[in-house]
A and B are shown apart, each in its own frame.
Chain A
Amino acid sequence: DSGVTQTPKHLITATGQRVTLRCSPRSGDLSVYWYQQSLDQGLQFLIQYYNGEERAKGNILERFSAQQFPDLHSELNLSSLELGDSALYFCASSETGGLNYGYTFGSGTRLTVV
């Protein structure tokens, strides 16, 4: 157990629908990062929150949004889902910016869009 909790572990939904993925960071970590791993792809950075504020954006689609709540848990909202959104979505956390000591990752949410 890495200390980063992601729910649900698996999600199957239809195209056009909206889903919410949840992440609880490791105790004491203020930064939350969302990554997407599609088939045969590396982990693609989506977005980072630090202590409730958006800190950085990566390759996140406009149909996707995220937020970090006062208790530091984060939610990633995916809407108007398409087949290509099927992927593993990882959340990671770090105490600050996570440089040479890396992040702590959760075990991911596998999203299947049918």
Chain B
Amino acid sequence: DQQVKQNSPSLSVQEGRISILNCDYTNSMFDYFLWYKKYPAEGPTFLISISSIKDKNEDGRFTVFLNKSAKHLSLHIVPSQPGDSAVYFCAAIRNTGNQFYFGTGTSLTVIP
């Protein structure tokens, strides 16, 4: 049962433009949502998170938006840079939980 879904396996964007990565979830009890970034041959690294009581969190070029009614979150990267090319995973967790539920990832390619 995939509680967190990323329906776009890949995305290509021109350098300098906006990248929008999407994520949907099914469990309304999730309290935190995170985005991880993964380069080949490395483990995922934490990028940005958002609490379920917020609808937006910004950190430099990265902004995460949460729409609880739609059970949808998105990661915006502006402006996109070639070094942003990686696989991005969204993840969710309950406040009382022990495990993160991960999506299947979206491979972002930023074209110079």
Contact = CB atoms under 8 A, between A and B. Distances in A.
A99 B97 CA distance: 9
B110 interface: no
Contacts of A92: 43
Nearest to B33: A100
A104 B31 CA distance: 19
B32 A99 contact: yes
Interface residues of B, number: 29
Contacts of A4: 43
Nearest to A45: B99
A30 to B, nearest CB: 13
Contacts of B36: 102, 105
Given A55-B98, A99-B95, A107 B43 contact: yes
Contact of A58 (B4, B93, B99): B99
Main secondary structure of the interface of B (DSSP, over half): loop
A92 B104 CA distance: 18
Interface size range of chain A in the complex = 20 to 34
B53 to A, nearest CB: 11
Nearest to B94: A99
Interface in B60-112: 89, 91, 93, 95, 97-105
Interface stretch (A11-19, A35-43, A67-75): A35-43
Given A43-B100, A90-B43, 5 more contacts: A42-B105, A102-B36, A102-B91, A105-B44, A107-B41
Across chains A and B, which 8 residue pairs bring their CB atoms closest together, nearest first? A105-B43, A56-B98, A102-B46, A45-B99, A42-B102, A43-B102, A42-B104, A100-B32
20 contacts: A35-B102, A42-B4, A42-B6, A43-B89, A43-B91, A45-B101, A48-B98, A48-B99, A90-B43, A100-B32, A101-B46, A102-B34, A102-B46, A102-B91, A102-B100, A104-B46, A105-B43, A105-B44, A107-B41, A107-B43
Interface of A: 2, 4, 33, 35, 40-45, 48, 55-56, 58, 90, 92, 97-108
